[in-house]
Structure 1
Amino acid sequence: MIFSSLSFLFYFFPIVLTLYYLFYFSKTLKNTLLLISSLLFYTWGEPKYILLLLASIIFNYLLGLLIGQAKKKKRLLWLVIALIFNLSTLFIFKYLTFITKNISDATAGKTEVINIALPIGISFFTFQAISYVVDVYRRDVGVQKNFLHLALYLSFFPKLTQGPVMKYATFEPQIMGRKETLKKFSSGVCFFITGLGKKVLLANNMAIVVDRIFEIHKMGNIPVSLAWLGALGYTFQIYFDFSGYSDMAIGLGLMFGFKLDKNFNYPYISKSISEFWRRWHITLGAWFRDYLYIPLGGSRVVNRDKLIRNLAVVWIATGVWHGANWTFLVWGVINFVFIALERMFQFEQSKIPNILRHVYAMLIVIIGWVIFRSDSLEEAGSYIGCMFNIFNGFYSDYTYMFLKEFWLFLIAAIVFSLPLATIVNQFMVKGILVRKTIDTKPPYDGKSIYVEPPLVKIISVLYPVGMLVLFLICVAYMVKGSYNPFIYFQF
């Protein structure tokens, strides 16, 4: 089940939300309902792997207890066992098929390929489980003795399949301490509808163009303009697909009183690859920083070679985390190379004009997404070659056809990838909301108030109307559209 499906929108979620607020008198009943709902949510999409999720919850709960109660040496032993369990689970279900396939190819088919379907969300709930046991070992958090609470942390359905990858220390206080308010609920509705629009209207329509162009490329070389249209289309598709999910997850969390971590901060305005990764998939970057980069020594190492080593380990791990394919590994290495070069030459402190730095960053990002999208390195190399090979020609009737059909969605994608809402909000606060002093009677009492001009009042009325219209348009697209899962489901 996905958030942008009719079954979720009109059956699962309304029922869960209604029951949740019927249990207004008991936080424990609310949490129990959320846990049961989360397990049903996962079972709906992955019935054969619900036992895997339950096993992860049970084992990490028990191992957390053992780590919390043991002395130093035994604590380390139990932590190692917990890490082996979690990483082995990830290895078996995510990487074993890839490894055995490569061995089979290398031995001309003499060894058998072990085909194991990838469980949805395994990378996300496994990384959260690792963060919990590590934090218990470090004494950063207390051991969770309430099974219900830990189970809810690992399986809460808004963040179960695609994150955000939240630390236990951030989530745990909200389990019993959260408060549901009308402001949170209304903000949650707006977040959810915004995310739904990103996914249904922008990401899904970009996917139509991108899939067609990449299929055309598989039949032979394509002109430069068509290759760039496909690359740009995927650049916007993956952003609105993933950030749309993140917005919906945040919105769902708010409607239940939870505040989930922000995962995106307009990454396509970045002026370096380092900045891009501070804005893209923020919680995953924070996880690798806290549990891999800093333990290796981070940036504090005096030896530059060790700094390069630390960066290499993190970015190879980041690439591999995204999937079992050579393309993801190479994509991770490319990010490492440019981030390392930026560190070495202090690129972010350079006097290079911002526009040139932005062009550089987006060029690397777009090429990286082509590799990320491709099924093989050969396909990626061929496609990137088409982007720069003018001997394949520049113009294409396909380019004209796709632009004619999808130009509005492309312009909308460009516009909404920019922080226009933030700029407009700042303009309204600084320019339209005028601080006006009213002197009622002499002597002057010194009181000042904000006076809202008519424009602000109009916007405050139109905004909820706009949200409703956006929701209805999304539903119309969902009714006539086909099943289109989120890209990050495969991770």
Structure 2
Amino acid sequence: MLFNSVQFALFLPVVFVLYWFAARKSLRQQNILLLAASYFFYACWDWRFLFLLLFSTLLDYAAGLQISASQSNQTKKTWLWLSIGVNLGFLGIFKYYNFFAESFSAALYSIGIHANVHTLSIILPVGISFYTFHGLSYIIDVYKGRIPAEGNFVQYALFVCFFPLLVAGPIERATHLLPQLKEKRSFNLHKAKDGLRQILWGLFKKVVIADLCAEYANTIFNHYGSLTGSSLFLGMLFFTIQIYGDFSGYSDIALGTARLFGIDLLRNFAYPYFSRDIAEFWRRWHISLSSWFRDYVYIPLGGSRVGTLKKVRNIFIVFLLSGFWHGAKFTFIAWGLLHALYFLPLLLTNRNRANLATVAHGRLFPTTKEALHMGLTFMLVAFAWIFFRAESMQHAWHFISHMFSRSLFAAPNFIEKKFAFLVLAIAAVFFIIEWVGRENHHALANLGERFKRPLRWCLYYALIAMIIIFGGKGEQFIYFQF
């Protein structure tokens, strides 16, 4: 069930009405309703994988109770590693087995050994990377004594599979979400209105910005051999805009939907394309994933409190894992490696925390220095997205070599150029709105409130009209494949 589908447009109001009218007097009923809705939501993708989700949930629930109840460190470690091993084992089989099998076969072939390595014809369960990381963070936090084990199965299961975040995040923490599931929730009109605004903005990002850019990004990446370098440069820009609109759009819809039910999810995006360096970009892009790797990988490895060589090692481990988390392809690993190389000079010069505040805070325009730094960071990020989008390393290298050719300064030669530049103009207006609202948790949070009611509703109706006009495709979100 896609957020940008008619099915979800029917599903959400039904759950909302039942939640606030039929179950409003009982916290238990509210949680059971949300849990049932979440399982139904997931079963709409493929009901067979519902059993895998249930097994993972039951395992981590039981492991948490055993760790909390045991007085033996050895027993605690046994349950911890059982949970980690089984969860990562499932993830490895479904997501990474074929990659390692094919890579092993290719390595043997390169030294003259012909091996018959069998691959698996299996479908990747939607959201497995996300709900696996939900469970792992919970188990590790219980083991470390940061939180007590959750005894209420309904509340724990809802933490794992709350439907707005189930298939593409944000990656929640038990310390943040579980306390909210334990407290009686009352309807808050202000929060609900803000949630609807965030859903509207997220749908606009996905349906209008991301899906329009996707048409040209796909065309250019799929036919790069016959296009000019300038066309490929535009293709890189189209994908850069597409993936931001697609993934941050999903996150906005997820956060806005949760707010309709009185629940606040972790923020996942904070205007990352307005970053002044790569370190700031990673504090603003896919925040829940980057903070997960920081807390559960980087800091346990010693973080920045170790010698220079180990700091460099830690950075490369985190970024390579981040790339590999996205998929079992060398292109994702190359993408992570490239970001590690981007990050390294900042780390070695202790400049990785130089830009913590919002750019041009309290001002409408950035300084020339800020604008130059944002432009450079944006181009570095856009270049790295080529590897993320490419089908293979060969595809990426050929795309880059064709782009950085003499034809980079020639006129673009892909079809429907005029409409493509109109799409870029729409994207430019979109980023202006994002810039104006960059100090809020989403761009429409206060922007609409500043306008008088007629103007405010004109803005909403304009966004709705564009969503209806361009929303017929029902394109899947990019991050559903992860």
TM-score when normalising by structure 1 = 0.88
* Counterpart Cα distance in 2 of 1:83 and 1:254: 31
**Residue 413 (structure 2) aligns with:** 397
**Residue 17 (structure 1) aligns with:** 16
* Counterpart Cα distance in 1 of 2:63 and 2:143: 10
Q: Shift of the alpha carbon at 1:337? A: 1.4
Residues paired across the two proteins, number: 454
**Residue 131 (structure 2) aligns with:** 125
* Counterpart Cα distance in 1 of 2:438 and 2:83: 46
- Counterparts of residues 338-353 of structure 1 (less than 5 Å): 338-347=342-351, 353=369
- Counterparts of residues 455-470 of structure 1 (less than 5 Å): 459-470=452-463
Deviations for 1:340-360, whole angstroms, at most 9, x for unmatched residues? 12211345659x943443333
**Residue 322 (structure 2) aligns with:** 318
**Residue 169 (structure 2) aligns with:** 163
The one of 268, 285, 289 aligned to 1:263: 268
Query: How has the CA–CA distance of structure 1 residues 208 and 313 changed in structure 2, closer, same or farther, with 3 Å as cutoff?
Result: same
Deviations for 1:239-267, whole angstroms, at most 9, x for unmatched residues? 00000000000110000110111111111
SS of residue paired to 1:159: coil
- Counterparts of residues 404-423 of structure 1 (less than 5 Å): 404-418=418-432, 419-422=434-437
Q: Shift of the alpha carbon at 1:420? A: 2.8
* Counterpart Cα distance in 1 of 2:407 and 2:438: 43
Matched, 1:51 2:51: yes
**Residue 252 (structure 1) aligns with:** 257
Larger Rg over CA atoms: 1
Matched, 1:203 2:210: yes
Preserved contact between residue 241 and residue 487 of structure 1 (Cα < 8 Å) = yes
Matched, 1:173 2:179: yes
Q: Shift of the alpha carbon at 1:90? A: 1.0
AA paired with 1:324?
A
Deviations for 1:391-448, whole angstroms, at most 9, x for unmatched residues? 57622332xx4441132321222332354332799xxxxxxxxxxxxxxxxxxxxxxx
Preserved contact between residue 221 and residue 392 of structure 1 (Cα < 8 Å) = no
For structure 1, list consecutive stretches of 5 or more residues without a partner in the other structure. 426-454
* Counterpart Cα distance in 1 of 2:97 and 2:84: 18
* Counterpart Cα distance in 1 of 2:249 and 2:320: 26
Query: How has the CA–CA distance of structure 1 residues 456 and 142 changed in structure 2, closer, same or farther, with 3 Å as cutoff?
Result: closer
AA paired with 2:12?
F
AA paired with 2:382?
I
**Residue 336 (structure 1) aligns with:** 340
Matched, 1:487 2:470: no
SS of residue paired to 2:311: helix
**Residue 358 (structure 2) aligns with:** none
- Counterparts of residues 209-358 of structure 1 (less than 5 Å): 209-217=216-224, 220-301=225-306, 303-347=307-351, 353-358=369-374
Preserved contact between residue 271 and residue 438 of structure 2 (Cα < 8 Å) = no
* Counterpart Cα distance in 1 of 2:400 and 2:52: 39
Query: How has the CA–CA distance of structure 1 residues 159 and 457 changed in structure 2, closer, same or farther, with 3 Å as cutoff?
Result: closer
**Residue 195 (structure 2) aligns with:** 188
Preserved contact between residue 222 and residue 392 of structure 1 (Cα < 8 Å) = no
AA paired with 2:25?
F
* Counterpart Cα distance in 2 of 1:262 and 1:462: 28
Q: Shift of the alpha carbon at 1:468? A: 3.7
- Counterparts of residues 369-448 of structure 1 (less than 5 Å): 369-390=385-406, 394-398=410-414, 401-418=415-432, 419-422=434-437
SS of residue paired to 1:278: helix
**Residue 429 (structure 1) aligns with:** none
AA paired with 1:154?
V
**Residue 96 (structure 1) aligns with:** 97
AA paired with 2:411?
Y
TM-score when normalising by structure 2 = 0.89
Identity %: 37
AA paired with 1:65?
L
Preserved contact between residue 165 and residue 283 of structure 1 (Cα < 8 Å) = yes
Preserved contact between residue 188 and residue 262 of structure 2 (Cα < 8 Å) = yes
* Counterpart Cα distance in 2 of 1:77 and 1:409: 55
Preserved contact between residue 299 and residue 307 of structure 1 (Cα < 8 Å) = yes
* Counterpart Cα distance in 2 of 1:415 and 1:305: 44
**Residue 444 (structure 2) aligns with:** none
* Counterpart Cα distance in 2 of 1:456 and 1:354: 28
Preserved contact between residue 153 and residue 168 of structure 1 (Cα < 8 Å) = yes
AA paired with 2:57?
I
**Residue 441 (structure 1) aligns with:** none
Matched, 1:4 2:18: no
AA paired with 1:358?
M
* Counterpart Cα distance in 2 of 1:226 and 1:31: 51
* Counterpart Cα distance in 2 of 1:355 and 1:229: 21
